[in-house]
Structure 1
């Protein structure tokens, strides 16, 4: 996203969103043990660890995942010498919940982040674990949801959440890929001789889709017949273009997709710069690099456009996951994996023992087809509607309680989730089984936290400002 500098004296979103938007949708339940300590085993020198998350990035818009456009040459090269997971699922279609799970190894309701609030201080986060065994823990983030001062900085020695620019359309504070990469490279060079862990969260290609001009024109197809959509008056993506995504008077579906793809290609150029720096520092082949996104984005499937946070279809929770550790992890896997697999995998590779039993698996081993992958959400743009889903054995069940609605899909035969099988006679028993399994997951919390992060009621003025940012209706 291309930005302009903030005018002097202009107010920041910090005052608007200081306490986070969402609260947890679940109450605390009895639980098992949490981390009481971390014990390093005997080990050779531990590698650098880079966790790179890209906001709103759909896996199926990357060339290495089969996309027809050349959106991701640098990511493709990276994936060529790494292990690519074709079926990784996020636990939520929104940044707060997704990143909380990614950084803790816990489901959103377990860590009490069901929405865009921040993790409670009692939760032990990945950065805290790595810091306790000697890592220099650093983060460079670009989404205002992850701003400093509300809890995301737990365990990080350096947490850089500087937003030096604003979106061209909404004027929302953010940091573009060029500047995010500049800061990450600066820190990696400065601490090149230390044992480093860095989390980098890129904002591009989050909307509004306004890549620099060369990328804006890269994927435009002027010969294609326009498919004009309606402009919604709210931030919802159902049935038309959300108000915060409006790009001038253009309403063509193909134009918006071309701009989204241009954002990806723009990010890819700066991802390449980051990898080149690792090579220059002699750290590329020896580092553990994990590349993923927090969630996807609607591109018209299910009549949902250019938004996220409002459903649990795969367009919003299917994400890329690519892991590199020298030449040890290569190839491509089709088994279903999930974000909460990242923390236990990383700790196992680093030979760090904990007293906590994670739900996730070590990604170096192929997963069982019968494992359960859970996702959940609460929508601020649709009357705080809740949804939850479970994936197991190649099937996915989605529950929308407010409508007493269940949807059942065969993800192997129907990856776009176009055929609801819930009433199909040959799938009724499967539907009943998945309903029972889905109902049990929120009752099996692993961590007892009586409250989520601290928050207060928003004023009417704040609510109006949040509407303009696309967070509430």
Structure 2
């Protein structure tokens, strides 16, 4: 071989790729992966949409197809953002990998694909640990439990902490160092690019912020001998913390066997707890309207959860609002909540600042269905940045978390602490609402670790059955005991989740020094049925099973009131909240209020002799009364429609307005007795229960106590037809109801003071 000829090297030696080539193929691979995820989400959405079998799906596909298409297009920016983030993480790893092992273009592609899968798996793991209700992750739950069994709970928790917190911190640090080094290399090659005009002022600004110079204003101190003028005492602040479907009997301060509410218990120890507080109607929109107008539903006009535009307009015009009254006395008025508080968009009750989700809107509902099929959103954008990029997420039941609501409440209180303006804040959470979704740490407090049913992290509901089948109760009443116990445990975990939110807010109230200037009320809009006798789940459908659907917490802390830590078993009502708060704030009563101030209970041992009058709401499925045939209405997808003139809200069709009122049960409860009127196919059905012996209302005693039945029936009909309520003393002619024996007659007439 001639010396001038080059020596041949290895035939297939791979040369190291340039940075530009590695970057280009990494970007292409990441984009192709994200496009595949997007297409898969589209096909899944299309398949599931046509798999639903209800009228609302037909409306969505037939009349709002363009909105559905646009919502899918709108989500594309999420994929672009994730592609940028994935590229920023994967590119330096592939580049460093090539330093260790030389590979070609296909090597870049398969490594980038593998890293995309690893990143996706990491975020799925985070989602399954923190929010398992976003999907069916039973396979993961089983593996995660076995991991804990094999290595122990301590190692399991340590591994989870590493994956959730340490690993991402390391990844961010490594990527940050890599790009800082890249910047250093760039500046070394092109020193004139160093952005001193930007870096210099930025460094000065950061220094000022860190030191506080120019940003923290010192309060001027009075000169020697100068008298300090005291500010005029401002009215008491009012803070109402409530959760939807919140049962009074599930508070540990009310004697419940599980420690569900340690933070609320501390508030109860500093105030007074009313254990027999009732809402006049167990449905959110109607109940909250009654709470803040202090009027019964038949007075303010909102008697079911699907009012039309005219009914809402009339209620806003005629019903008094606690927010309106307090605004007139200088209060800052705010409602902060998630999707359960959406009713304040239409019925604000005089509150000026409304920060709530807008869930009760068909377009929002359609958007949520679309967004949930793109798993990239719960994986990467269920956070403050994601809520800013996709504002609709704050309107969705799955995305507006209790922590978000709590942060907003704390921010609002801090603002009022600075400007010293009195405030009323109503914070309303969906923590305890169906389907009892809760993060893993709450679901597992009382849940059976060996449970293998359908209700691991939420009560599983079939949407088609719920809105299109009035006989759904037949299925749920056969639920196995282990499933009922699991659902019970989930609900109690939800109570603890809300209690933790209350704890954070109270800690801030204490730290800010506002605690002794703030009236605190813990409550709910209504309770919930949880498979008591003759009921399954839900609320506002019937008075069967006991008080659980209407009995709500009423824990009140009033600064300066003595005899703290008391418990009262006197009947109070949610319509009594507004007059009580006005009374405690030293403001005059509102004559249109139908509730009574219970301040006499707060300050002493008075007896207001209040009775509770209630009505049911919209009847989703048939009631059951042994030996009777109650009236019923068709399923929801038949009785309601979507009104484009009313912001696409669900509204009750005109032809069913009277039917819904006609099928309502009415109830009158005293300290001992409970009378329930049910409209039946063959005529009215009345049942009387002796709660002292029968808390679940299973035995009708109207024949045993005929005089009690006649007296309570007269009072109930008077309230229903004439809108006039009677006190317990008036109903029983001054006689102590606990002294009434079977067959006793009531006094003909005893003067009532």
Normalising by structure 1, report the TM-score.
Answer: 0.77
Quote the Cα distance in structure 2 between the aligned partners of 1:350 and 1:401.
42
Quote the Cα distance in structure 2 between the aligned partners of 1:68 and 1:225.
25
Question: C-alpha displacement at 1:258, in angstroms?
Answer: 1.1
Question: C-alpha displacement at 1:120, in angstroms?
Answer: 3.0
**Secondary structure of the corresponding residue to residue 360 of structure 1:** coil
Q: Which residue of structure 2 lines up, in the alignment, with residue 187 of structure 1?
A: 412
Going from structure 1 to structure 2, the CA distance change for 1:95 and 1:158 (only over 3 Å counts) comes to same
Q: Which runs of 5+ in 2 are unaligned?
A: 1-67, 74-231, 374-392, 622-632, 634-659, 725-753
Q: Which residue of structure 1 lines up, in the alignment, with residue 500 of structure 2?
A: 269
Comparing both chains, which one has the higher relative contact order based on Cα–Cα distances under 8 Å and sequence gaps of 6 or more? 1
Q: Which residue of structure 2 lines up, in the alignment, with residue 409 of structure 1?
A: 689
Q: CA RMSD in A?
A: 3.4
Quote the Cα distance in structure 1 between the aligned partners of 2:447 and 2:535.
21
- Within the candidate set 224, 239, 253, 1:50 is matched to 239
Going from structure 1 to structure 2, the CA distance change for 1:101 and 1:251 (only over 3 Å counts) comes to same
**Secondary structure of the corresponding residue to residue 316 of structure 2:** coil
Quote the Cα distance in structure 2 between the aligned partners of 1:280 and 1:10.
45
Going from structure 1 to structure 2, the CA distance change for 1:391 and 1:297 (only over 3 Å counts) comes to same
Q: Map Cα deviations across residues 232-251 of structure 1 (whole Å, 9 max, x no partner).
A: 83356734449xxx9xx998
Aligned 1:429-444 pairs, distance under 5 A: 429-444=707-722
Comparing 327-336 with 269-278, which one deviates more in the overlay?
Answer: 327-336
Q: Map Cα deviations across residues 117-165 of structure 1 (whole Å, 9 max, x no partner).
A: 4543221200000001110111102234634542x22422211113699
Q: Which residue of structure 1 lines up, in the alignment, with residue 441 of structure 2?
A: 214
Quote the Cα distance in structure 2 between the aligned partners of 1:304 and 1:393.
23
Quote the Cα distance in structure 2 between the aligned partners of 1:179 and 1:445.
41
Question: C-alpha displacement at 1:84, in angstroms?
Answer: 0.3
Quote the Cα distance in structure 1 between the aligned partners of 2:715 and 2:249.
29
Quote the Cα distance in structure 2 between the aligned partners of 1:219 and 1:131.
43
Aligned 1:33-182 pairs, distance under 5 A: 45-116=234-305, 117=307, 118=312, 119-144=315-340, 146-150=342-346, 152-162=347-357, 173-174=396-397, 175-182=400-407
Quote the Cα distance in structure 1 between the aligned partners of 2:524 and 2:672.
22
Q: Which residue of structure 2 lines up, in the alignment, with residue 306 of structure 1?
A: 537
Going from structure 1 to structure 2, the CA distance change for 1:10 and 1:225 (only over 3 Å counts) comes to closer
Q: Map Cα deviations across residues 303-334 of structure 1 (whole Å, 9 max, x no partner).
A: 32231121124110011101101241621111
Aligned 1:293-442 pairs, distance under 5 A: 293-312=524-543, 313-328=546-561, 330=564, 331-354=566-589, 356=591, 358-366=593-601, 368=607, 370-382=609-621, 383=633, 384=660, 385-403=663-681, 404-424=684-704, 427-442=705-720
Question: C-alpha displacement at 1:47, in angstroms?
Answer: 0.6
Equivalent pair of 2:338/2:401 in contact (CA under 8 Å): yes
| Bigger radius of gyration | 2
**Secondary structure of the corresponding residue to residue 687 of structure 2:** strand
When you count helix as a share of all residues, which structure comes out higher?
2
Question: C-alpha displacement at 1:103, in angstroms?
Answer: 0.5
Question: C-alpha displacement at 1:423, in angstroms?
Answer: 2.8
Q: Which residue of structure 2 lines up, in the alignment, with residue 256 of structure 1?
A: 487
Going from structure 1 to structure 2, the CA distance change for 1:114 and 1:222 (only over 3 Å counts) comes to same
Comparing 338-347 with 437-446, which one deviates more in the overlay?
Answer: 437-446
Equivalent pair of 1:239/1:304 in contact (CA under 8 Å): no
**Secondary structure of the corresponding residue to residue 473 of structure 2:** coil
**Secondary structure of the corresponding residue to residue 567 of structure 2:** strand
Equivalent pair of 2:283/2:617 in contact (CA under 8 Å): no
Going from structure 1 to structure 2, the CA distance change for 1:375 and 1:348 (only over 3 Å counts) comes to same
Quote the Cα distance in structure 1 between the aligned partners of 2:608 and 2:335.
34
- Count the aligned residue pairs: 402
- The answer to whether residue 429 in structure 2 is matched with residue 202 in structure 1 is yes
Question: C-alpha displacement at 1:400, in angstroms?
Answer: 0.8
Question: C-alpha displacement at 1:402, in angstroms?
Answer: 2.9
Q: Post-superposition, which runs of at least 4 consecutive aligned residues in structure 1 deviate over 4 A?
A: 163-172, 222-232
**Secondary structure of the corresponding residue to residue 53 of structure 1:** strand
Normalising by structure 2, report the TM-score.
Answer: 0.49
Going from structure 1 to structure 2, the CA distance change for 1:302 and 1:250 (only over 3 Å counts) comes to closer
Q: Which runs of 5+ in 1 are unaligned?
A: 1-5, 12-42, 447-473
Question: C-alpha displacement at 1:299, in angstroms?
Answer: 1.0
Quote the Cα distance in structure 2 between the aligned partners of 1:125 and 1:399.
30
Equivalent pair of 2:668/2:675 in contact (CA under 8 Å): yes
